[in-house]
A = this chain, B = another copy of it.
Amino acid sequence: MLSNKRLIEEMKQRVFVANLALPESGLVKLTWGNVSEINRGAGVIVIKPSGVPYSKMKVSDMVVTDLNGELLEEGMKPSSDLATHVELYKAFEEINAVVHTHSKNAVMWAQAGREIPAYGTTHADTFYGEIPCTRQLTLEEVSSAYEYETGKVIVETFKEKKIDPLAVPGVLVYGHGPFTWGETPQKAVENSVVLDEVAEMACVTEVVNDAVGSIPQYLLDKHFFRKHGKNAYYGQA
């Protein structure tokens, strides 16, 4: 019980720091964006409170819920996107953190309704193939449990396209913006940084060469597996 309390405090600290990293990285403005972390063993999700300015946010403001998103502590209202996070945690069992932003370049592709092709090794280092864009949500989906349905359509996209969420740790929601995830809140934020960067690069790449194609599969393989999996050799062991 006591150790559970400490675990939650540590999660709050990590989630707080990761949320602050969003405006620091230039990924969000005003009160936009949110980061959460899950601990399935402890049955706990910690997420940013809704609509609180980053400059006033405190560690103790982080909101604690169970694995269905039900509040476990009195306190602030959770991010309105909580239900989306919950759905992602249920479907993608290996991920421990989720990030949502309206970062400019990723939003542009989401608004354009296009997946981001793997045009180079910067993309391949983090995303093993194109970053998918969901279909548009229907009237029924938006009118009922909107944030829950947003999670569902992301999961549907990965299932239909047979994409491994660990190999492609991010998605564009049609007309809306990006979600990314990872093993830790920090890693999930880094994936948001990379997604926005490759989104910008991809757009201008098409301006510089309107006949550009994706990099070959063997180069995608090389760069992704240089950094990921048991044969990775990037970084300090």
Query: Copies per complex?
Result: 4
How far, in angstroms, from A122 to B80 measured CA to CA in the complex?
A: 14
* Proximity bits, A195-212, B CB within 8 Å = 1, else 0: 001001111111111001
Interface residues in A8-44 by Cβ distance below 8 A to B read: 29-32
Minimum CB–CB distance for A26 against chain B, Å: 10
Return the chain B residue nearest A25 by Cβ: B29
Whether B212 contacts A113 by the Cβ 8 Å rule is: yes
How far, in angstroms, from A179 to B105 measured CA to CA in the complex?
A: 25
Return the chain B residue nearest A137 by Cβ: B219
Interface residues in A64-78 by Cβ distance below 8 A to B read: 76-77
Given contacts A30-B193, A142-B222, 16 further A-B contacts (CB under 8 A): A29-B194, A29-B197, A32-B122, A51-B235, A77-B235, A80-B226, A80-B233, A110-B120, A111-B119, A111-B205, A112-B205, A119-B175, A121-B175, A137-B219, A143-B222, A146-B226
**Residues in chain A within 8 A of chain B (CB atoms):** 29-32, 49-52, 76-77, 80, 102, 104-105, 107-114, 119-122, 136-137, 139, 142-143, 146, 175-177, 190, 193-194, 197, 200-209, 212, 215-216, 218-219, 222, 226, 233-237
